[in-house]
Amino acid sequence: MGSKDEQYVVFAINQNLYAISIHDVSEIIRMQTVKWVPNSREEFLGVIHLREHIIPIISLHRIFSEDEKTIDSKTRMIVLQTNGQEFGFVVDEVDHVMFLSEKHISPAPHLSQSEWITGVYHHNEKTIALLNLQTLLQQVDVQKALA
């Protein structure tokens, strides 16, 4: 594979597929009990305790203005670490991990959420939106949201 190939974790939020670079993913875990934090922003579900670390948990459903799905056996938390921050996303399910070549990624369409999307990839008649984690985190601001 060429140097432009990168591995992504593909996950679902209400039938829509999204992907993030595997370089930002620490681990994928089953849904844990989330402890609510008073006065936190709406997109935060609360925190979990994972191996003596307190991890803020973000609802992508709320950020993307999607209906929240009932938690089931497929629900997962993707624990991420970027720029020294550790946090987690709740997703409906992790679909698969795949290599993507930059040449197969199309530019993001001009939509309301396009600032969070770096591009799109068409795979088996499905569209996968590649998330721009840095832009998403700037809007959410993990540090201030739980203060």
Q: Give the tens place of pLDDT for each residue, 99-129.
A: 988 888 888 777 655 678 889 998 888 999 9
Rounded to the nearest angstrom, the gap between the alpha carbon of residue 127 and the centroid of all alpha carbons in its chain is 16
Name beta bridge partners: 11. 18, 94
Q: Give the tens place of pLDDT for each residue, 18-63.
A: 999 999 999 999 999 999 989 888 888 999 999 999 999 999 888 8
Name beta bridge partners: 127. 122
44 and 58 Cβ atoms separated by less than 8 Å: yes
pTM of the full structure = 0.85
Higher pLDDT, 73 or 142: 73
DSSP alpha helices (H): ranges in the chain?
A: 60-63, 133-140, 142-145
What whole-number distance in Å separates Cα of residue 59 and Cα of residue 14? 12
- Can you give the residue range of the structural domain that contains 95? 5-145
| Cα angle for residues 50, 22, 70 (degrees, 5° grid) | 55
What whole-number distance in Å separates Cα of residue 104 and Cα of residue 113? 21
Residue with tokens 């994972």: 50
Q: Give the tens place of pLDDT for each residue, 62-107.
A: 888 778 888 899 999 999 988 788 899 999 999 999 998 888 888 8
Domain count, the chain: 1
Q: Domain of 109: which CATH number? A: 2.40.50.180
What whole-number distance in Å separates Cα of residue 30 and Cα of residue 85? 21
99 and 123 Cβ atoms separated by less than 8 Å: no
